[in-house]
Structure 1
Amino acid sequence: MALVDIDYTPAPAAPIDMLEHVFDANGWAFERSGDEEISTSIKAGWATYELRALWRDDERVLQIIARADLVAPDERRPAVYEALGRINEQLWMGHFELWSADGTVIFRHATLLDNDDDEHAPDLTIGQAEVLVEAAVDEFERFYPVFQLVMFADHSPVDALAAALLETVGEA
């Protein structure tokens, strides 16, 4: 996924404010709940993802959660857990989870923000904000077919990963 180039570079700001800049620049409608939470929907190649960011000031942690409309049927959950384990081994940032309450697949990562100048002024740059958003959507896009194959086509996690991550050469 490629984000819109932001023509200006706003000064580092509170995490939710900076994410608002990114969402607004990309034309994504968003909903904000104070300084602690912001959410949007992002249409990508495989799905429309709900992206939610939560700021925990006490811990100084910004958490990004992405979800798509992927709910694992009860009988496929063991295979989905195996797929999650195999996928998570390949990730540098974040991880996938299966939400136990309803079987929804989510991608989550957290970033610790620390500002030595002022402990009450956590700063996030526009570049960091863009990386956090891109990472969540790009990783979900990369592995969405694996979840589809495991959940709904009865592929084994090993076969689903091999099929979904097969790199093609040339053009059709």
Structure 2
Amino acid sequence: MIAEDFESEPLGEVPIDTIEQYCEAHNWSFERVSDDELVATVAGSWTKHELRAVWREADRVLQFLALPDIRVPTDRRGALYETIGLVNEQLWLGHFELWSSSGILLFRHAALLDINADSALSLDHAEALIEAAIDECERFYPVFQFVLWGGKSPSEAIAAALIDTAGEA
């Protein structure tokens, strides 16, 4: 089910309500942590992803995080920081980062929403935010794995994982 199946108008009192409706429509497991935060779990092609949406009313910012199930050992963090730098050059929306305290890799982006609306997040917008995060995690998961466990340099990993096929088989 996609956002086209719903009204495209902003819904609910806070954007988290719209994110919740999107998760419900996809039958994803989720928990409403508070009025301003939701955590969901989604199965990807490579791994499961924890999705977090956090609404900051004072700033009118919806922060969206996707955490693929990747923990980075301390001895591999240098190589992964280099990889993240090269990967982030490929992105138009959001960025990857590594939380230094826990070694958790994540994708993060945010949306500044209309300050004149009660809720400026339509289901179309929610779909774009969520799917962009999942798509980028799926796209770059092999790159991170090649560096962490495949013994490849960051540039080799990107070259190996991002091969574009031409033509038809």
* Shorter-chain TM-score above 0.5: yes
Q: Give the 5 Å matches for 1:145-160.
A: 145-160=142-157
Q: Give the whole-Å Cα distance in 1 for the aligned partners of 2:86 and 2:8.
A: 39
- Percent of matched pairs sharing the same residue: 48
Matched AA of 1:74: T
Write the deviation string for residues 95-126 of structure 1: whole angstroms up to 9, x where unpaired. 0001101211100001101242x5xx232011
Pairing of 1:25-64 with structure 2 (within 5 A) = 25-64=25-64
Runs (4+) off by over 4 Å = none
CA distance in 1, matches of 2:44, 2:24: 17
Task: Note if contact 1:60-1:122 (Cα within 8 Å) is conserved in structure 2.
Answer: no
Q: Which residue of 2 aligns with 1:164?
A: 161
Match of 1:131 in 2: 128
Alignment partner, residue 101 of structure 2:
101
Residues 120-147 of structure 1: CA deviation (Å, up to 9, x unaligned): x232011000000001100000000000
- For 2:152, what is the secondary structure of its paired residue? coil
Gaps of 5+ in 1: none
Q: Return the offset for 1:10.
A: 5.8
Residues 62 and 112 of structure 2 are in contact (CA less than 8 Å); yes or no, is this contact kept in structure 1? yes
C-alpha distance in structure 1 between counterparts of 2:6 and 2:70, whole Å: 36
- The one-letter code sitting in structure 2 at the alignment partner of 1:47 is T
* DSSP 3-state at the match of 2:69: strand
The count of corresponding residues between Structure 1 and Structure 2 is 165
Asked whether the equivalents of residues 2 and 127 of structure 2 are also in contact (C-alpha less than 8 Å), the reply is no
Residues 29 and 42 in structure 2, CA contact (< 8 A), matched pair in contact too: no
Q: Secondary structure at the match of 1:71?
A: coil
